[in-house]
Chains A and B, each alone.
Chain A
Amino acid sequence: MIYQYLLRFTGPVAFVAKVITLLIVNSVLILLTNHAFAADQLAISVFLIVVLILVNYVYFSPKYQQFKFLLPGLVLLAAFVIMPILYTLAMSTYEYRTGNYISQNDAIDRIQVSGVMPIEEGIAFDLVLGRDDQDRLTALLSDSFNDKYFISNKESLTQLNKSDLEFNELGVAVAAPGFTRIPPNKLSEFDAEVIETRFFYDGDAFVVTEGFEVAVVAQQVLQYEKDTDRFVNQYTGEAYLNNGKGNFALENNPETILEPGWRTPIWFEHYGKLIFDERVRGPFITVFIWTIIFASLTVLTTFAVGLVLALVLDKPLFGKRLYRSILILPYAIPSLISILVWGGIFNRDYGAINQLLGLEIAWFEDASFARFAVIMVNLWLGFPYFYLISSGALQAIPNELNEAAAIDGANGRQIFSKITLPLLLQILTPLLIASFAFNFNNFNLIYLLTGGGPRDESAGEIAGATDILISYTYNIAFGSYIQDLGLASAISVIIFFIVASISMFGIRRSKVLEGFGK
């Protein structure tokens, strides 16, 4: 209908509307490209440029009618599904953790900066910046303590006569012959130039600025040698070699490394850790098993309760509408709020459950109780969904089948088990599979209700009793001092393949639905 209408929307007005729409789209895309370039995100920039070209080509060309409708979906699919998957896949093959966070070029740059050390004498100057007669950036340096004054540029250092200088109230030289001071409020325009400039001092020593007011005499102690990809201490001769793990390590003592390190490919090492490293493998297997149990129990319980309620309310009943409305309430309340409220209800000290039942159960401090609480809360959140779809599915089962079975002498239980339930399962199996896949990754519930705990952290436990794979992955990636994004990516890839397999299975099963429709 809309497609037909859009096909008829032609002519100059439609064209102007199209140009305006594309103008807005182009503006947004160019803005995003601009920001991506500024943030050194080359891949994202290229993607945005490709999208920009495609959008304009497709919408200004009369050839690709169908593609005009597909393009937005395809672009979003590529941007928010395919690219993150590829990025995660790529990162899972990298050493990408605290200490190995930035690119190698950035790391080399940072080490070079850290490798500049003040000379032993610790000479510092009050600094005034300006330009000389040849318009070179020039530093007017005051060593008030020793009553010495210099002027320096990249090439030379000249000592000045005090009598030739003008001073401010602090005794800092502010004017000298052939020197034009840059006004303080204009210095910001030369920020990058000031930082990059090494003013001449003596031999290997040079003057570097530390802000606009102070300069120190320093030396480049650690120097990067590009040809051999190593850092060398210019004074001791010690060499720091690229260890292939994202760090420059001291040649004779590889445990001594330079900071920072960088992200570097280590290929399938993270996947190997999941199999061979007991510290990683043990918690991973425990969490994996619990994730399967959690998702299965959730689907089973929510489906069972939803179905029972649907069956009960499928019969004529006084106040049926009211009951239905009440049953849908948990579904209507945002799950975030429900989970936090349940967190309070299960609180040991002031929670409603303990107070009403006169108990003192520490629900979230014992593994079994916490798991029970998680399943119960998810049952509360999930049963209305299955109640709704079961109610709908019950309506779709022809009543004649039940009547025929009853005439043949089947009782209610037999009708349910032999007719209603098989037909319902045929209809609902794809949804049950989808629900399993959803709960497999139900991060919100675990994170907000138990935080993955209880976890005996004082015994060094990494995974909590209610941690599922996704919350466990989050903890590895962001939850502690050492953030291991590479390992977390590897686990994410495994989760992706599990969920993708389940989803594929669900999609195949969904053909049953089509068959039922026929």
Chain B
Amino acid sequence: MLGNKFAKATAAAAGLALTAGLVVAPASAATKEIVIWADDTRGKNLTALFAVNKNAAPGYKITVKAYSTFDALKEALDKSTAASGPDIIYGASDWTAANVKNGKFAPFTVTAAFKARYSKTDLDLVSRGGKLYGVPLDINAPALAYNSKLVTSKPQTFGEMVDFYLANKSKYDFGMCITDGGIAWAGHGLFSALGGGAYQFKNGAIDKTSPFDKTALTANIKKYILDSSGKSNGFLKNINGGLCKTQFAAGKVPFAIVGQWEISTYEAAKVRPTLLGVPGPTAGTAGKFLGGVSAAFLTSSAKAHGVEAGAKSLLTNWIGSTQGQLKYQQLEKRASAEKGAAKSQIGSWTKSFAQALSGNTIPEVGSVLGNNAGGSSYWEAAGNFWDAILSGKDVATEVDKFHTLLKKNLDAGAKDL
């Protein structure tokens, strides 16, 4: 019966038509959906947030896609196209330059009243060419903490921390480590306290002449980080962040550079961390941490998906509002970048962070930090520099090499501001 050609052709055509109908029909009937990408931690919080705040974007379904790590999220964004990308992405302020260059982030305009609720520095971090690309969410900077059960008085200088460790060396595995964020980002405060820095800020702008003073950094490293034979004195250890966190929580390390998001770890361990900036060689000076903001960015995919107006509304009218920020930070537990929400946030930990960081941060400028005109970026090279120092290589040579690299990156990056 089905043996003749006509029947075969009919069957094939019917099959094609049926499958085409099955496949295409649901796509055309799809509801408007705003897709948000975030890392795992933020993703979980955002899912919970939008599950109970269904009117954040009336008429739209909000879908949150969480990536296992921040790096995985960035990689996914790098590889996305306008069609496959998210409509809004929760990322870091130093992503702005590259993603504007690649046409992945889209600009939007906010009112003067909106701008007034954020610091100009924070808005500048997510702007390029005078256009705003994201809504600042929270201040992203680490701080130095000391375990006040072990260290009874607040160190005034870097030397006091080192002296404390050397006097009690037998009790501790080492003096200081970094619990999260890595030695390049979180360690910048330490680097800066010793006279270094990926760049300096003078009068509110990047100093384009030199990234740091080589002589001062060389002398301070020799004095505080190395012993008389040029080997590490054991104070600083560049170890895995998780291991550092465990050691600090266990009272085996007196000083650590910690993140705002780690409070639950220390509360569970009943550790009383006291926060401060990294003291410099002389009292009253402190290293500068890289202060970025996390931000919710609008992407050009929103237009491709036909949800740009909804995404802009969600960003400016809900995510960027005082109420929206408060609700989000109740889950995220970071210091809000929005002034109204920041005022309403309670918690001594968040307040202590704000105090410790006051005056002790410089803006995180992605186009300089990520620039690799010298061969590697600051992000890539900082770990290598510290490994070389701690493994006993010649300090002056290593400092000189690092300075040369950062100067090239600074020269190229400054043109791209």
Residues of chain A having any CB pair with chain B under 8 Å = 12, 15-16, 19, 22-23, 26-27, 30-31, 34, 38-40, 56, 60, 98-99, 101-102, 106-107, 110, 113-114, 117-118, 122, 124, 184-189, 191-192, 194-195, 208-214, 216, 218, 255, 259-261, 279, 362, 365, 455-462, 478, 480-483
Q: Which residues of B contact A (CB under 8 A)?
A: 1-3, 8-9, 11-12, 15-16, 18-20, 22-24, 27, 32, 57-60, 75, 78, 81-84, 98, 100-104, 106-112, 128-131, 300, 303, 306-310, 312-317, 366, 370-372, 374-377, 379-385, 387-388, 391, 398, 401-402, 404-405, 408, 415
Report the minimum CB–CB distance from A92 to chain B (whole Å): 19
- 3 nearest A-B pairs in the assembled complex, by CB-CB distance: A460-B375, A481-B370, A188-B59
Query: Smallest CB–CB gap between B108 and chain A, Å?
Result: 6
- Closest Cβ of chain B to A187, distance in Å, is 6
Q: Which residues of A contact B316 (CB under 8 A)?
A: 210-211, 213-214
B35 to chain A, nearest CB (A): 14
Neighbour of A480 across the interface among B102, B376, B405, CB < 8 A: B376
Whether B306 and A478, one on each chain, are in contact in the complex, defined by CB atoms closer than 8 angstroms, is: no
The answer to whether B12 and A195 touch across the interface, beta carbons within 8 angstroms, is no
Q: Is the CB of B102 within 8 A of A457?
A: no
B312 touches A211 (CB 8 A): yes
Inter-chain contacts of B103 with A (CB < 8 A): 101-102, 106-107, 110, 259-260
In the bound complex, what is the Cα–Cα distance between A101 and B103 (angstroms)?
8
Q: Knowing A98-B101, A101-B102, A365-B391 touch, does A458 contact B398 (C-beta < 8 A)?
A: yes
If A211-B315, A212-B309 touch, does A40 touch B81 (CB 8 Å cutoff)? yes
Write the chain A residue with the least CB distance to B408. Answer: A460
Bound state CA distance, A208 and B18, in angstroms?
Answer: 43
The 8 Å CB contact of B376, one of A102, A110, A458, A478, is A458
Tell me the smallest distance from the CB of A283 to a CB of chain B, in Å: 9
Q: Are B22 and A27 in contact (CB under 8 A)?
A: yes
Contact B310 A188 (CB under 8 A): yes
Hey, which chain B residues are within 8 Å of A60, CB to CB? 8-9, 12
Q: Are A209 and B309 in contact (CB under 8 A)?
A: yes
Given the contacts A187-B310, A213-B317, A458-B384, A481 and B300 also touching, CB distance less than 8 Å: no
Whether the Cβ atoms of A212 and B408 lie closer than 8 Å is: no
- Interchain CA distance A122-B110 in the complex, whole Å: 10
Complex contact B1–A39 (CB within 8 A) = no
Contacts of B104 in A (CB 8 A): 101
A16 to B14, CA, bound (A): 13
Cα distance A225–B107 in the bound complex, in angstroms = 22
Q: Let me know if A458 and B401 touch, CB within 8 A.
A: yes
Q: How far is the CB of A471 from chain B (nearest CB, A)?
A: 15
CB neighbours of B112 from chain A (8 A): 122, 124
Nearest chain A CB to B315 CB, angstrom units: 7
CB pair A23 B75 closer than 8 Å: no
Measured in the bound complex, the distance between the Cα atoms of B404 and A214 in whole Å is: 48
List 8 contacting pairs A-B, 8 Å CB cutoff, sorted by A. A38-B27, A188-B60, A191-B310, A195-B308, A212-B310, A214-B317, A462-B376, A481-B377
Residue among A60, A189, A210, A259 with the highest chain B CB neighbour number at 10 A: A210
Residue of B nearest to A19 (CB): B11
Distance (Å) between the CB of A199 and the closest chain B CB? 13
